[in-house]
Amino acid sequence: MAYTKQTHCKNGHELVDPNLYWTRQLNGTPRRQCRTCRTADRRAAQAELAKLTPKERETRRKRFPSHAKMKHYQRKYRYGLDEHEVRAIVDHQGGRCGICAREIRLDATAWNDQVHLDHDHETGEVRAALCRRCNAGIGFLGEDTTTMKRAVAYVQMSHYAKRR
């Protein structure tokens, strides 16, 4: 049987751009979801949590791993690096972002100070530990060096135009 692209969700909503939500499964493969159904499911889950007593919420929270444990699991699963190997990468860089030299920490709670592992999307090889802004910048520019050079030229041009 040939694979056919699904056009509607299980509730009959059309899977078109405004109603499409992309997420990734744990193995990294992309997954499409109906935005309408996803929103309804999340609201139902929030309503269910609101009904729980504080003690029941605490018991439920203890069943799930902490954010830090989940981060370590994801790094091991995605990049094959354990906590010590990630720490070695950060220490090798002096605890600083590989691009802007901003301080990054493995135990940081602020999103901007956390370690983000930059990797080649074709090979999966980790290149460096970056801050959130630099990692997002590379991602938004599509890892395309030509586009990055144009962005540098644009910023330099606008600085030059301001000085005139």
Per-residue pLDDT of the chain (164 residues; tens, 9 = 90+): 444 577 888 888 888 888 888 776 666 677 788 899 889 989 998 898 889 888 888 787 776 666 667 777 778 878 888 889 999 999 999 999 999 999 998 877 666 678 889 988 778 888 999 999 999 999 899 888 999 999 999 988 876 666 65
Domain coordinates in residue numbering, the chain? 15-64, 66-164
What DSSP string describes the chain?
Answer: -------B-TTS-B--GGGEEEEE-TTS-EEEEEHHHHHHHHHHHHHHHHHS-HHHHHHHHHHSPPHHHHHHHHHHHHH---HHHHHHHHHHTTTB-TTT--B-BTT--SGGGB-EEEE-TTT--EEEEE-HHHHHHHHHTTT-HHHHHHHHHHHHHHHHHHH-
Superfamily, domain 66-164:
His-Me finger endonucleases (3.40.1800.10)
Whole-model pTM?
A: 0.55
